Chain A
Amino acid sequence: MVKTDALIIESSDQVPRRTLFKRFPIPRNFGVSPGSSVERGRNWPAPANATRIKAFDIYRYDPDQKKNPRLDTFEVDLDDCGPMVLDALIWIKSRVDPTLTFRRSCREGVCGSCAMNIDGGNWLACTRFIEETQTPARIYPLANMRIIKDLVPDLTHVFAQYEMVEPWLQSKTAAPERERLQAPEDRAALDGYYECILCFCCTSGCPSHWWNGDRFLGPAALLQAWRWLTDSRDEAAGDRLDKLEDPFRLYRCHTILNCTRTCPKGLNPGKAIAEIKKLVAKRHG
């Protein structure tokens, strides 16, 4: 069971059953620009014959209306709906409000499309059981993103930051006749890093990226940077470190570790960033 009472969280999929604070004790629209503040939306009641009902508070934004984002409450008939949060969203879209907009594709946690903020933590809607959510479940888009519509964030900037780490093999040596050889131990160095599905749960959950996301590359891009730095076949380590060694790009990471806490693939961006900092230290002395 991933719902837990334990104080010590052992894997990122665990959800605390109780928390002292559901959110930081600050005003609801603290520091929010006028166009971004969230207003109360409407209620969408469950069908008359429903017996097992669960409420979902869902962030809505429609770019075609000149209105602020709002929080709608939907009542979902659990007997008519699959077990995951994504199932609830699909149920709402097909039974209640066809305009509800969200991304999804694989519905099994490998494409990274359905990342969103569920009960205050970033996760994939397709791998979070409805049973594990609070009542009402609080569904927001990924935190700190420009919103295109409802639960669909504009990922242009974070993908541009990903592009900045040049996530491809770079080698000046002429390509060999056959495959590039790699010792099993060197291949093992990529484990825990190559599995990233670019859902950006980590970057969106990183407070440092909230305040300085224009310059700080964020955990997702930095984990990928490490994935190439640690690849024995890559020849560009020096250039990569040159581009990373910057007070904002890399060192804005303050090892808060919200990234590691939230990664739905159980990866460790915080550790990857510490590895990069260690590598920079190594080449300085």
Chain B
Amino acid sequence: MDRYRFLSPLSRASGLGSAKAGFTHWWAERITAIALVPLTVWFAASLIAHSGSDYQAFIAWAGAPVTTVLMILLLLGLFWHMALGLQVVIEDYVHGEAKLWALLAMRFLCVGLPIVGILAALSIAFGKSAPL
């Protein structure tokens, strides 16, 4: 509960002033969205094409250089877009100190998970027994 404070209406409305930011976030959300349109459609189409195929056939596809590059791009775009989007969702609904923790946890996931995914994609590509 906030203590009631006697502030003038204008002081309440102006708060801490403009952060003079927000454009970069908004713009990156759009850029990643545009990148994700072909990448996700490619991914969905590949999944359809490989439904029911066995491990060998699947690895042959997943280990191909084109697949690896596209997969890494997909992971980067996806988790970047996801971090931007979830940030807005958290800022909208979570207030107070919980907001900081929620943002922190979300960002760790959005940095960590794509790294794991990229390592997995690379180890499929280079046929190493996976480090994971």
A–B interface present (Cβ within 8 A): yes
Assess whether B22 is in contact with A161, with CB atoms less than 8 Å apart: no
Q: Is A281 an interface residue (CB 8 A)?
A: yes
The docked-state distance in angstroms from the alpha carbon of A280 to that of B20 is: 11
The answer to whether A245 has its CB under 8 Å from any CB of chain B is yes
If the complex has contacts A208-B92, A211-B92, are A163 and B13 also in contact, measured as CB distance less than 8 A? yes
Interface size class of A (residues with CB under 8 A): 20 to 34
**Contacts A212-B92, A281-B23; A156 near B9 (Cβ below 8 A):** yes
Secondary structure at the A interface, as helix, strand, loop or mixed, is: helix
Give the residue of B12, B19, B23, B91 whose beta carbon is less than 8 angstroms from that of A160.
Answer: B12
Instruction: Please report which residues of chain A, range 129-156, place their CB below 8 angstroms from some CB of chain B when the two chains form the complex.
Output: 156
Q: Choose among A159, A245, A250, A280 the residue with the greatest number of B CB atoms under 10 Å from its CB.
A: A245
Q: For residue A155, which residue of chain B has the nearest CB? A: B9
Report Cα–Cα, A280/B15, bound state, in Å: 22
Q: What number of A-B contacts does a CB cutoff of 8 Å give?
A: 61
Residue of A nearest to B19 (CB): A246
Instruction: List the A side residues contacting B26 at CB < 8 Å.
Output: 251, 277
Chain B 1-27: CB-based contact to A (< 8 A → 1; otherwise 0): 000000001101111011111110111
A-B contact pairs, 24 of them (CB 8 A): A156-B9, A157-B9, A157-B13, A159-B9, A160-B12, A160-B13, A164-B10, A164-B13, A164-B14, A242-B18, A242-B20, A243-B17, A245-B18, A245-B22, A246-B19, A246-B20, A246-B22, A247-B19, A247-B22, A248-B19, A248-B22, A249-B18, A280-B23, A284-B27
Also in contact, A246 and B18, with CB within 8 A (given A157-B13, A160-B9, A208-B92): yes
- Chain A neighbourhood of B23, CB < 8 A: 245, 251, 280-281, 284
Q: When the two chains form the complex, which single residue of A161, A242, A254 contacts B13, counting CB atoms closer than 8 Å?
A: A161
B101 interfacial by beta-carbon distance below 8 Å: no
B66-98 with Cβ < 8 A to chain A:
88, 91-93
- CB-based closest 3 A-B pairs: A160-B9, A160-B13, A247-B22
Mask: chain A, 218-260; 1 = CB below 8 Å from B; 0 = not = 0000000000000000000000001111111111101000000
A214 at the interface (CB under 8 A from B): yes
In angstroms, Cα B13 to Cα A157, docked, is: 7
- Count B interface residues, CB 8 Å: 20
Determine the residue in chain A with the shortest Cβ distance to B8. Answer: A160
Q: Mark B92-110, 1 if CB is under 8 A from A, else 0.
A: 1100000000000000000
Query: Which of B15, B20, B23, B88 has the most A CB atoms < 10 Å from its CB?
Result: B23
A161 to B12, CA, bound (A): 9
Query: Any chain B CB within 8 A of the CB of A215?
Result: yes
Chain B residue contacts of A243, Cβ below 8 A: 17-18
Chain A residue, CB-CB nearest to B88: A254
**Residue in chain B with minimal CB distance to A207:** B92
In the bound complex, how far is the Cα of B18 from the Cα of A280, in angstroms? Answer: 14
Check if B20 sits within 8 Å of A245, measured CB to CB. Answer: yes
The listed residue with most A CB atoms (<10 A of its CB), out of B12, B15, B18, is B18
